[in-house]
Structure formats: C-alpha cells, structure tokens
C-alpha cells in the first residue's frame, strides 16, 4: 500500500507533505494540563479513534495510587498523547538544529510520533501490578511484557481497522516501542539509531516517556517537580548517532533520575499503596480460575477488552465463585486493608545477592508459643528503588559535549559530581503485612526473628505500634 495522503487515507510516504498536516485546518487541538495545546494530525487520529486506543482511558496511569493520592486519576490515554507530543517536539528540534547533517525526513518524524502515541497501547490494568505481580503467579515461566503486547496490538489495530500504512514504517514503529526492552533490535541493524532513543531509550534511560510521566505524576499527586525536561530538549544534539547533552546540564540530567526515585519512594511504593495492590493481586488470583483473566494476554482481540473496570465487574457480579474476590474488594472500599507490620532496608553489602523474601520465610522464623502463622495470612512486598540503572550510576551511560562547536562526546566521571551522588544507587526495602488484624503482633515478631537470623541485626525502620500488636 502506498500513494499520497488524501481524503483521510493514511500512508507514510517520504513524499507526504508533513508541513501541511501542521496546519490547524487539518489538525485536532486538545488542551493537555501538562503540555498545553496538543495538535493531533489526521494521520494519527486513525489510530486514536479506535476502541483499542480509547481503552487507555480506562487504565489509570498509577494503578491504585489514587486510593492514597486522590488526584492520581490520570490515565494512560493522556500520557500517550503527551509522549506523542514530546516525541514530535524532540525530533523537530533535532531536525531544526541538525537537519541536513542527520538526514531527518518526514518519514522519520511520522514514525517517531506514532511510536510515542502507541508505546503503551498494550499496557495492562493497574499500572505495572498486572504484569509484574499477577501474571508471574498464573503464567509460570512466561516472559509476557506490555511492550511486546503493544507490538501485537499495533498489528491488530492496523488489520482490524484496515488502516492503509506501509509495512516499513510499522516495522520501525514497533522497533522503537521495543527499544528499551529485552526484545530490542541490536544497534548494528538500525539506521539513524538516535531516533530509537527518543521514545524508549534502552541505552541510558533518558526518553520522552519519562519526561511525560514524571511531570504528569508529580502534578497529579501534588508534588513539586524541579526537573525541567524542556532544558534538555532545547540543548540536546546528536554526536556519533547518539543523543548527547551539554556538560553544563548534568545537574538537570541527575534530577531526572533523582525525581523518578523520589516518586517511587513517596508514591509508587507508598506502604499503603502497596497494601492495596497486594489485595488487588489476591482478588485477581481468586477470580482468575472463574473469569480466566490470564487467557486474555495471548490474543489482542481479547486483550483490549481488559482494563481497570475488571474490579467493578468482580464487585457487582452475583456469582458465588467470585465471593472471595468480592470480599477483598469490599475491604478495600471500606479501608479495611492488609495491616502494615514493619519494614527494613536490606543492608547495602547484601543487596547484590538479595533474594526476594517470601511469606514462607516469615512463617519459618516464628518461634513457638504464639498463634500459629500460615503463609496465606502474610503478604510480603519486596520493593526495589534505583536510578534506572540498577546498582550503577546512570550518568555512566550518558554522553555529554562541551559546547555547540565541539564534535567530541564524553562521559562525566563520578568524582566530578561526587557531591550529588548517593552512597548507593539501589535500595531494597522489604515490607511485611498481615491479612488479619489480630496477627499483626505475631507476624511482627516473626519478621524481627527473620532479620536476626538472616543478617544478625534487626534492621527495621521503626517499632510496630503497640496498638496494632494488641488489636484483636
């Protein structure tokens, strides 16, 4: 399929007059509360105006965080529009500053923007809970990922809605969506590799996806955000097929990763948010045999029907088989949550060889004499917080340049910015919860015993409140 764009047909031809698509007569204007006016070109509305993309309206960006931060009700839909807009802004700025040198054409602009628009079209319900907590428990050994499902969903949308688009741009869009995942194409096979770092950057983690969700999540949760992505977008340039940044902007780059880590500590991994997520996972597990939820992930034609409203489906269904799941959701509604017992940070010298703590570990650490603990009465959350590069300094993988006359790129050594660096780039926090209020005291004691047995010290952050220990 090829030809020119006209009368609503969609092709990605290098001869397509992209400039005309920027004319307000041909664009749909949407006001976004983060980026202001966003203009949706007609070619992309072909994808937006599908039930598969509109499904993103029913996926909250932050899963269950709105139960703690009431303003966090924004969706994957508005985030995807934001990434689409920033992807376009980024490639346009590179073209304006280095267009002839880089050979950026209309085809490149279109594919980068479409990748930004569709990068999350395969995302699951409840943010990353579905993919990281629920599916591993029901699909043993599966390597399912929302990035891979996004790729399958793109093909499904094109086929289902008979969107006229050439195979090459779709292939490149899918590669850009997968660029930061384990399914990424090797760099050596990519032409204009720097374009693949704009939406999902597997090379160093700086991409417009992060730019949007950091700004959007901070705003929604009422948190301050001192990271200015606009500064990086204005001054970035490509050297050696790689997007690099001015050396004087290293502070701004560091703030990107530091702000993301702060969001994990204060929002994404908030102790009560995690308690609610553990309850949602248990509710989905109890409903899975009857509703066969996990089977949806293998077929895009079924998967797009799965979103956050599954909670309401379970909650209002009269089926006896869903009673236990309904009861858990009712507990969430009534704020009768799993009780937080305690937490500890894994000693830094033990992080490298850390293995997830399980409910069985806690049960096996119980001393005789108290109430008998069972694994099904305990929930454990193992939380990893890093700066996107695990235990490594993220600045190691980022190249900078001195000024716009320079053709040399370089990394910035730790000793240049030692006053900024944390003593550790990765924290592991283990939290234990009791599913029954009357067991808080006994589980807390077993948790303390586990720490003493494992590390020879009690590393917990604070003592379990006596009122919780005595609650019956």
Record the tokens describing residue 369, joined without a space. 């004499």
For residue 439 the two structure tokens come to: 């067991």
CA-derived radius of gyration, the chain? 24
368 alpha-carbon distance from chain centroid: 43
Cα–Cα–Cα angle for 428, 434, 438, rounded to 5 degrees: 150
User: From the CB of residue 323, how many other CB atoms can be counted at a distance below 10 Å?
Assistant: 12
Cα–Cα distance between 262 and 370 in angstroms, integer?
A: 39
**C-alpha span between 220 and 223 (Å, rounded):** 8
Alpha helices in 123-177 (DSSP H): 129, 135-138, 146-160, 167-177
Residue in 83, 108, 91 with CA at minimum distance from that of residue 172: 108
DSSP H stretches of helix in 18-160 = 18-21, 42-48, 51-54, 76-102, 106-118, 129, 135-138, 146-160
Q: Which of 146, 193, 254, 270 is catalytic?
A: 146
Sequence-ordered strand ranges (E) for 233-346: 237-239, 242-246, 339-345
Residues facing 245 on adjacent strands: 400
DSSP 427: E
Among candidates 56, 193, 60, which has minimal Cα distance to 117?
A: 56
Annotated catalytic, 462? no
The vertex-214 CA angle with 213 and 215, nearest 5°, equals 90
Q: What is the distance, to the nearest Å, from the Cα of residue 110 to the centroid of all Cα atoms in its chain? A: 24
Residue recorded with tokens 């007059």? 17
Q: Specify the residue for token string 């034609």.
A: 301
Alpha-carbon dihedral angle through residues 423, 425, 428, 429, given to the nearest 10 degrees: 70
Residue 30: its H or E element: strand 28-32
Just list the catalytic residues.
Answer: 146
């Amino acid at each position: 399929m090829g030809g020119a764009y006209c009368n609503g047909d969609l092709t990605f031809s290098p001869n397509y007059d992209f400039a005309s698509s920027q004319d307000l007569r041909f664009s749909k204007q949407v006001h976004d509360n983060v980026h202001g006016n966003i203009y949706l070109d007609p070619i992309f509305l072909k994808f937006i105006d599908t039930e598969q993309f509109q499904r993103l309206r029913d996926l909250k960006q932050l899963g269950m965080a709105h139960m703690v931060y009431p303003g966090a009700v924004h969706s994957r839909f508005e985030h995807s529009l934001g990434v689409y807009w920033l992807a376009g802004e980024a490639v346009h700025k590179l073209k304006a500053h280095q267009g002839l040198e880089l050979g950026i054409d209309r085809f490149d602009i279109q594919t980068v923007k479409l990748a930004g628009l569709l990068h999350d079209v395969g995302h699951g319900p409840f943010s990353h809970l579905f993919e990281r907590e629920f599916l591993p428990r029901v699909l043993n050994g599966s390597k399912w990922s929302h990035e891979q499902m996004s790729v399958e969903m793109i093909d499904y949308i094109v086929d289902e809605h008979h969107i006229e688009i050439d195979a090459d741009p779709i292939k490149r869009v899918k590669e850009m969506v997968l660029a930061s995942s384990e399914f990424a194409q090797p760099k050596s096979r990519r032409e204009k590799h720097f374009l693949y770092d704009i939406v999902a950057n597997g090379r160093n983690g700086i991409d417009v996806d992060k730019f949007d969700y950091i700004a959007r999540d901070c705003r929604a949760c009422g948190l301050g955000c001192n990271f200015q992505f606009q500064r990086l977008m204005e001054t970035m340039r490509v050297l050696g097929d790689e997007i690099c940044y001015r050396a004087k902007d290293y502070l701004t780059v560091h703030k990107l990763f530091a702000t993301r880590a702060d969001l994990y500590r204060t929002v994404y991994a908030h102790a009560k948010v995690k308690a609610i997520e553990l309850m949602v996972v248990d509710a989905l597990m109890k409903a899975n045999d009857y509703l066969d939820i996990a089977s949806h992930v293998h077929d895009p034609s079924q998967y797009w029907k799965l979103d956050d409203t599954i909670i309401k489906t379970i909650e209002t269904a009269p089926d006896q088989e869903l009673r236990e799941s309904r009861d858990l959701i009712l507990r969430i509604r009534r704020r009768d949550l799993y009780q937080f017992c305690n937490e500890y940070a894994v000693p830094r010298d033990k992080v490298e060889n850390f293995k997830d703590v399980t409910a069985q570990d806690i049960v096996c650490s119980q001393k005789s004499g108290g109430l008998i603990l069972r694994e099904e009465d305990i929930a454990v959350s193992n939380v990893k917080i890093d700066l996107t590069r695990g235990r490594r300094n993220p600045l190691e993988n980022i190249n900078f340049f001195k000024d716009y006359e320079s053709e040399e790129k370089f990394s910035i050594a730790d000793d240049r910015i030692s006053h900024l660096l944390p003593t550790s780039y990765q924290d592991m926090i283990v939290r234990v919860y009791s599913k029954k209020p009357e067991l808080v005291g006994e589980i807390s004691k077993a948790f303390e015993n586990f720490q003493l047995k494992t590390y020879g010290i009690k590393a917990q952050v604070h003592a379990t409140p006596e009122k919780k220990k005595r609650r019956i």
